[in-house]
Amino acid sequence: MQIGPIASHFIDGQYVEDKSGTPIPVIYAASGEQIATVYAATPAIVEQALESARKAQKIWAKMTGTERGRIMRRAADIMRERNYDLSVLETYDTGKPLQETLVADATSGADSLEYFGGLAGSLTGEHIPMGEDWVYTMREPLGVCVGIGAWNYPTQIACWKAAPALACGNAMVFKPSETTPLCALKVAEILHEAGLPAGVYNVVQGMGEVGGALVTDPRVDKVSLTGSVPTGKKVYAAAAADMKHVTMELGGKSPLVIFDDADVENAVGGAINGNFYSSGQVCSNGTRVFVQKGIKEAFLKRLAERVGNAVIGDPMDEAVNFGPMVSENQMNIVLGYMEKGKAEGARLICGGGRVDKEGWYLEPTVFADVTDDMTIAREEIFGPVMSVLDFNTEEEVIARANDTEFGLSAGVFTNDLSRAHRVIGALEAGSCFINSYNDAPVEAPFGGVKASGVGRENSKEAIKHFSQVKSVYVRMGDVEAAF
């Protein structure tokens, strides 16, 4: 089976092929079958994309915000009309179950284009009176932005970066992860079908070195990366050499704190959503589940029962709610962590290995009696491995939850209103949840603190990260000078 694409890259409003680049096989995670080949961008392709973006940005920025927004909202409508096909493609790209991709990927991308398209016409400056003089400000685009994506949400990441960038009048060159190169091409195709001027949104394929070439190019004004902390540190440093703007959406090892008074079913539901959605390949997952001792056994019992109800199988079957890992490599990384959990003495409640079928399937896995120093409690696993840790007091759990380099997300389950807000207030994280986990509407800022990131995606906050403010002092009278 071959599922395209038409060509590897999308530049200046059209598909472009250059087979002299390194071939990148696209493997369907549910079968291990190769379903497509794309070719990494050569220096000539990178050059074409950047030149095209540079020219198109000037045309795009001259349009009114309302005109830009209309095109973006049209693209959102097309994405919704084609949701089924786009979801199937997302499933081929990632292996995530269609049950998920139908509601979480193209739909989320469309939300983002619609939301930022709606904002585009209202991105105004301020008027600041200074007696008879005055200052006015203008919100200007940054110029050419580079987006670099991870492999877990290829459609969503492509849109979450494109939408605020384009709303502000920037152009973008987007490099998807080499593991999931297909979906961003469709996003580019749809944006142009909706009327985007050629060159405003370009997609080039490649591995880290293509990303590196984009990040260090002097024509680039901003880099927005979704990826791991080690990659984030490299990209941030490279961007800093030219004082480029950055947004860094990086990894996490987020705490989910469950107090004795929590509703057990809801807490278990939150822990399942925060560990097993997308087979655990979600950056904001609450993988350190701190459970207060009084509720621990009831929580573990219901958790094991409900995890046993996971329907593991063909991701294209809409009844399936737990699919394979994105790649053999990622599966092996996660298997290594499962073995470390066992070797370091954590108590295996369920799962712990591969599912006996073709494809890169792992069992949803829960370890209990995990201690803070165990590897599975310290490192981001990016797979379906939940660590359950015990705690006694609020003060203790806050200190332990914050004892990590990461700070992406945090959640708390309790029926005590004051405690919920007090604990969330004390947790060092950017995207937090009370009696819920992993909701990410476009209206809410998303991003991390500490090593988990810089800047925010989504919401009006993202506008600040894709634009800059010019202030203009206007003197109405004569200029006084010392000599």
Per-residue buried b or exposed e for 107-116, using 16+ beta carbons within 10 Å of the residue's own CB: bbbbbbbbbb
Torsion of CA 223, 462, 431, 89, to 10 degrees: -70
Q: Is 394 in the site for ligand NDP (CB under 6 A)?
A: no
Q: Beta-carbon neighbour count of residue 133 at 10 Å?
A: 12
Q: Is 4 in the site for ligand NDP (CB under 6 A)?
A: no
Residue 100 annotated in active site: no
Single out the residue of 56, 150, 368, 423 in contact with ligand NDP (rule: CB under 6 A): 150
Q: Is 419 in the site for ligand NDP (CB under 6 A)?
A: no
Question: 268 or 440, CB closer to ligand NDP?
Answer: 440
Query: Which helix (H) or strand (E) segment is 99 a member of?
Result: helix 98-104
Q: What is the DSSP letter of 20?
A: T
Helix axes 417-426, 394-402, angle to 10 degrees: 30
Nearest by Cα to 97 from 288, 347, 340, 281 = 281
Helix axes 183-193, 83-94, angle to 10 degrees: 150
Question: 194 or 225, CB closer to ligand NDP?
Answer: 225
Q: List Cβ neighbours of 157 (8 Å cut-off, separation of 6 or more).
A: 147, 149, 150, 176, 226
Sheet with 171-175, side-by-side order of all strands: 14-16, 9-11, 201-203, 171-175, 144-148, 222-226, 245-249, 453-454
**Which three-class secondary structure state does DSSP give residue 277?**
helix
Restricted to residues 364-383, the positions that interact with ligand NDP (CB under 6 A) are 380, 382
In the set 249, 363, 380, 394, the catalytic residue is 249
Q: Is 208 in the site for ligand NDP (CB under 6 A)?
A: yes
Residue of this chain nearest to ligand NDP (CB atom): 211
Question: 18 or 178, CB closer to ligand NDP?
Answer: 178
Q: Is 211 in the site for ligand NDP (CB under 6 A)?
A: yes
Binding span for ligand NDP by CB under 6 A among 99-107, 122-130, 149-157, 411-419:
149-157
Question: 365 or 431, CB closer to ligand NDP?
Answer: 431
Binding span for ligand NDP by CB under 6 A among 223-231, 294-302, 369-377, 417-425:
223-231
Q: How far is the CB of 193 from ligand NDP (least distance, A)?
A: 25
Show the tokens assigned to 413: 């389950």
Residue 350 annotated in active site: no
Single out the residue of 75, 119, 148, 335 in contact with ligand NDP (rule: CB under 6 A): 148
CA distance 23 to 455: 34
Q: How far is the CB of 220 from ligand NDP (least distance, A)?
A: 12
CA distance 185 to 17: 12
CA distance 408 to 448: 4
Q: Is 69 in the site for ligand NDP (CB under 6 A)?
A: no
Residue 283 annotated in active site: yes
Burial class (CB in 10 A: 0-12, 13-18, 19+), 316: middle
**Which three-class secondary structure state does DSSP give residue 354?**
strand
Question: 73 or 186, CB closer to ligand NDP?
Answer: 186
Residue 161 annotated in active site: yes
CA distance 481 to 483: 6
Q: Is 450 in the site for ligand NDP (CB under 6 A)?
A: no
Q: Is 468 in the site for ligand NDP (CB under 6 A)?
A: no
Query: In this structure, are strands 201-203 and 222-226 parallel, antiparallel, or unpaired?
Result: unpaired
Q: Is 249 in the site for ligand NDP (CB under 6 A)?
A: yes
Single out the residue of 170, 177, 279, 387 in contact with ligand NDP (rule: CB under 6 A): 177
Single out the residue of 13, 141, 199, 227 in contact with ligand NDP (rule: CB under 6 A): 227
Show the tokens assigned to 401: 């939850």
Q: How far is the CB of 200 from ligand NDP (least distance, A)?
A: 21
Q: How far is the CB of 278 from ligand NDP (least distance, A)?
A: 10
In the set 183, 283, 350, 432, the catalytic residue is 283
**AA identity, residue 253:** K
Binding mask 83-122 vs ligand NDP (x if CB under 6 A, - otherwise)?
----------------------------------------
Q: Which residues form the catalytic set?
A: 161, 249, 283, 457
Residue ranges that bind ligand NDP, judged by CB under 6 A: 148-152, 175, 177-178, 207-208, 211-212, 215, 226-228, 231, 234-235, 249-252, 283, 380, 382, 408, 448, 453
